[in-house]
Structure 1
């Protein structure tokens, strides 16, 4: 009974201490006022946030300037307005030296939530979203517990000194976050510039690709340099690194540097651009994209070849659509010696005119080019203005029409044949001369 009485007494004391703490630090007049301010700010943000959504949520919003950005940010209208009102309330309370603990907690939690939601809108990589979430919650917790200042001072003390340069853990973390944010901003800006450049019809495709690549390289370089400079790193030491890179290019990176320069030359002289139909050696296909090191070429069978840019400069390249997309396609056709040559030539030209992709000006033309061993050799030349849609397929269509026309008109398409003459030698003769022809056999 005594132990039971003692445990009951201890429990009552704990409950009494908890009630005392609750009345002293939580259920206070100051916290009640702050809770009312937070509730009023939430109601105002909810009312005006819904009005803002209804005002800007229109079907034509994505087509307007910065429309896609507004569509992405519009769901955050209410929490952003609530955060804005809470920050104003917090600043007023701090200036008037009123209690503001509850306001500080709400501002930090709201800021973290908005940062995480914004990161999920603009980042597709879940790893980056998780990293941003951990950093945001850590900073918010330290700030709420009033430990952010001591944590910053502790990180600043953990440092290493290299000559006149002192690098602390705080410098490393700050530099990393700054560079990441600047790279993200550079990436977003490069996407906006790319859309503007792609939408400019006055620029050729090759110049568009050149401007897009130069803008990306420039923005990324500037972001890295500004990020390193913002944390106090001396950039003069990069001259040594630049010299080392130059030596590396001179010895081990010759091909890479050659392909890079060749890619820039291809973009500047406009000899090859995305969409061109080219033949490099035995590789034929459409230019899909021009990269810094290679050019992507898609063959008619769907295979994608990565051609080094240097090969496009040093080797002979057939560009079917360089200055004019109208090209001539030649097809050999053989007929039997017994066939009517003029009729066969007319049938070939008529079959070409009946094919859908063959243009009529210049007109199809069939020529007699040679007398072969087994056939009369003709050559049909036709013109197309869309080589990007394929060449073999149009050849197949024309030859199929020729096949049908020849069968209807009785024009024979020969196959190789040879006449073999057999001679018998008289008895007692050993030479090859003389003899009598017994006959001949036609071997087909």
Structure 2
């Protein structure tokens, strides 16, 4: 078909090269899943680290396999070194984000700020980590929506990992009551709500804080410890709010809303002056 340097490229050689590429890809997957992962099953390495090492070894295997395929069909890659260098510089500028995500993926595998199964929040995306690859991370939200997050976001942005280390966290729930309400009763009822919730930890104990005198309410804060932030955080907070509302209704405690007083002042004096000026003009 054509010549590449001193090598003659034929249709047969291209077909053989394509078959070898497919064979390398299939072998890489088989070796990674049937050999490497089985070896890791006998170790105590974290699952995310095992997966990362397996992926990196797979990429190395693929690159070596492609190189050997070129050599097998008689294509000398050394003759393409100059062209590959020039093309590489141009592609490098266009692939900065991809390279950044690739390097970030290596950093994630090395430092393990996140792992498969962790509940995380980054860049407005919240959910559970399903898969970590070298370029991106798959996150599944509570609505079962799969989000593909570039790995660079986990390095350049602030990441909240509810599952990292100790999953026990303290949740602060603000609540306001009307002026004149018995503050001691409010404190007692809020502590009862925390004690009656099965997902609330008993140690450390829940606390109630009288935070401030608001414009329209006395502002309190219920602080409870729980491990549910790694499982179903919105459901936990919702159940606490439902229980607070029911408890306050049972004891006739009002939850106020912002109010404004409007005072209308008489404009009789101004109208009289205007009338006097009209009479003077008529004379």
Structure 1 length-normalised TM: 0.55
Q: Is the 8 A contact 2:193 2:243 kept in 1?
A: yes
Q: Is the 8 A contact 2:37 2:50 kept in 1?
A: no
- The answer to whether residue 214 in structure 2 is matched with residue 372 in structure 1 is yes
Over aligned residue pairs, what C-alpha RMSD do you find? 2.7
Assess, with a 3 A threshold, how the Cα gap between structure 1 residues 244 and 276 changes in structure 2: closer, same or farther. farther
Assess, with a 3 A threshold, how the Cα gap between structure 1 residues 428 and 258 changes in structure 2: closer, same or farther. closer
Secondary structure in 2 aligned to 1:377?
strand
Match of 2:121 in 1: 279
- The answer to whether residue 69 in structure 2 is matched with residue 232 in structure 1 is no
Deviates more, 1:388-397 or 1:195-204: 195-204
Secondary structure in 2 aligned to 1:419?
coil
Q: Is the 8 A contact 1:190 1:219 kept in 2?
A: no
Which structure has the higher relative contact order (CA within 8 Å, separation 6+)? 2
The Cα offsets for residues 160-197 of structure 1, whole Å up to 9 and x where unpaired, read as: 65553234444444444344333322221111145426
Alpha-carbon distance between aligned partners in 1 of 2:101 and 2:25, rounded to the nearest angstrom:
26
Alignment of 1:317-332 (within 5 A): 317-332=159-174
Alignment of 1:99-138 (within 5 A): none
Match of 1:221 in 2: 63
Assess, with a 3 A threshold, how the Cα gap between structure 1 residues 184 and 422 changes in structure 2: closer, same or farther. closer
Alpha-carbon distance between aligned partners in 2 of 1:301 and 1:162, rounded to the nearest angstrom:
53
The Cα offsets for residues 349-379 of structure 1, whole Å up to 9 and x where unpaired, read as: 2212222222221121111111111111111
Secondary structure in 2 aligned to 1:353?
helix
The Cα offsets for residues 384-441 of structure 1, whole Å up to 9 and x where unpaired, read as: 224231211100011111112112222221222233344446757989xxxxxxxxxx
Assess, with a 3 A threshold, how the Cα gap between structure 1 residues 193 and 411 changes in structure 2: closer, same or farther. farther
* Larger Cα-atom Rg: 1
Assess, with a 3 A threshold, how the Cα gap between structure 1 residues 428 and 270 changes in structure 2: closer, same or farther. closer
- The answer to whether residue 124 in structure 2 is matched with residue 288 in structure 1 is no
The Cα offsets for residues 132-179 of structure 1, whole Å up to 9 and x where unpaired, read as: xxxxxxxxxxxxxxxxxxxxxxxxxxx765553234444444444344
Match of 1:419 in 2: 261
Structure 2 length-normalised TM: 0.84
Alpha-carbon distance between aligned partners in 1 of 2:47 and 2:41, rounded to the nearest angstrom:
11
**Which one of the candidate residues 188, 195, 203 is aligned to 1:353?**
195
- The answer to whether residue 97 in structure 2 is matched with residue 248 in structure 1 is no
Alignment of 1:187-198 (within 5 A): 187-193=29-35, 195-196=37-38
Secondary structure in 1 aligned to 2:241?
helix
Alignment of 1:23-422 (within 5 A): 162-193=4-35, 195-196=37-38, 199=41, 202-237=44-79, 239-240=81-82, 242-244=84-86, 246-422=88-264
Alpha-carbon distance between aligned partners in 2 of 1:163 and 1:296, rounded to the nearest angstrom:
43
Structure 2 residue runs without a partner (length 5+): 274-283
Assess, with a 3 A threshold, how the Cα gap between structure 1 residues 334 and 197 changes in structure 2: closer, same or farther. farther
Match of 2:278 in 1: none
Answer 1 or 2: which has greater helix percent: 1
Q: Is the 8 A contact 2:204 2:225 kept in 1?
A: yes
Q: Is the 8 A contact 1:331 1:380 kept in 2?
A: yes
Alpha-carbon distance between aligned partners in 2 of 1:227 and 1:244, rounded to the nearest angstrom:
23
Q: CA deviation at 1:200?
A: 5.1
Q: Aligned pair count? A: 273
Q: Is the 8 A contact 2:177 2:219 kept in 1?
A: yes
